[in-house]
Amino acid sequence: MKRISLFLVAALLLTLSSCQIVGDIFKAGMGFGIFLVVAVVGVVIFVIAKIAGGGK
């Protein structure tokens, strides 16, 4: 199993340029970051609405 993973990583490193790998990592990170910010803002709005509404 470890040998297959090592081979896969080596194959990816040889076929992809380093700039492309870094760009893909940042794209994935940016998408996750946007999702996280939207989720946190939603939770904050939900909590404020519960507190201001008195939990009705």
Q: What is the pLDDT of residues 7-44, one digit of tens each?
A: 877 777 777 666 777 788 788 888 888 999 999 999 99
- 22 token code pair: 């870094």
What's the confidence (pLDDT) of residue 27?
82
- 26 token code pair: 């940042």
Choose between 46 and 9: higher pLDDT.
46
* φ, ψ dihedrals at 54, nearest 5°: 75, 15
Choose between 28 and 56: higher pLDDT.
28
Give the integer Cα–Cα distance in Å for 54 and 56.
6
Give the integer Cα–Cα distance in Å for 36 and 44.
12
Using CA atoms, how far residue 44 sits from 4, 15, 18, 28, in Å, is: 44, 44, 39, 24
Q: What is the pTM of this model?
A: 0.52
pLDDT at 1 over 60: no
